[in-house]
Amino acid sequence: MIIAIDGPAASGKGSLARRLAEHLNYGFLDTGSLYRRVALAVLEQNIDPKDTNAVIEAAQNLIAVLDQPYDDSALRSDNVGQTASIVAQIQEVRDLLIQYQRDFPLQALQKGIKGAVLDGRDIGTVICPEAPIKLFITAEVEKRAQRRHKELQSRDIQATKPEVLAEMLERDARDQKRLDEHLAPPRVIGHDVHIIDTSDMTPDEVFNHALKIVTSH
Ligand code: C5P
């Protein structure tokens, strides 16, 4: 059983995916963290994110150590998020990360885990198009910026609300451009995708709504 969860930044998809996986005892893969790990390697090695060849080399080096433990908190800054959305535009980087993501549900199965929840941008379309349950989690951009601002504050990361909103709009535009170029719109939101707008929902409401969809399958 694969549950594919896609959606824009700070839509609530990550928290939902983690919670569903815990509740169902499924494996959980935050695919954004893979792009963030490439981004962090690029930043740490002072590589220009637009230097495609150098970024691809950094991604190739990362593939060899993807299974090793890493410091997740180092991935959560907005700088890493922005850089992730730049390196994610390089098709070779995406190709390098595809196999790991596709293997994840199989590896869970081999460990006796019955299912997997993957969250990202292209899970229901590219990574696991055969997933029986596909959720698209979204929210108004102002609400998403508000949430991200709160989250940054809770981590003592300084940023003003307008700065966070501006970065969110910039990242949305970059991610959307890539989706427009590589995916025909009907594949992005197909008839089999459940769209949940979380703008006016609490995390509990989102979770209960999603769980109902999952259990009805
Ligand atoms: O979801 P998160 O904000 O951690 O993702 C960081 C960036 O990685 C996104 O802005 C997006 O550009 C990229 N990404 C992607 N495909 C995925 C997951 C993330 O392109 N499946």
Q: Domain ranges for the chain, please list them.
A: 2-215
Distance 107 CA to ligand 1 centre (A): 22
Kindly report the protein residue whose alpha carbon is nearest to atom 4 of ligand 1: 32
Instruction: Please report which residue ranges of 138-202 form alpha helices under DSSP H.
Output: 141-154, 161-182, 185-188
Give Cα 135 to chain centroid, integer Å: 13
73-96: per-residue pLDDT in tens?
899 888 999 999 999 999 999 999
Least confident of 2-16, 19-33, 34-48, 190-204: 190-204
pTM above 0.85, yes or no: yes
Fold of 2-215: Rossmann fold (3.40.50)
The response to whether residue 81 sits with its C-beta less than 6 Å from ligand 1 reads yes
Distance 86 CA to ligand 1 centre (A): 10
Instruction: Provide mean pLDDT across the span 111-137.
Output: 93
The response to whether residue 148 sits with its C-beta less than 6 Å from ligand 1 reads no
Whether the CB-CB separation of 88 and 122 falls below 8 Å is answered with no
Q: 3: which strand partners?
A: 117, 133
Token match 């596909």: residue?
134
43-62: per-residue pLDDT in tens?
999 999 999 999 999 999 99
Distance 119 CA to ligand 1 centre (A): 9
Whether the CB-CB separation of 214 and 3 falls below 8 Å is answered with yes
What pLDDT is recorded for position 184? 43
Give Cα 209 to chain centroid, integer Å: 20
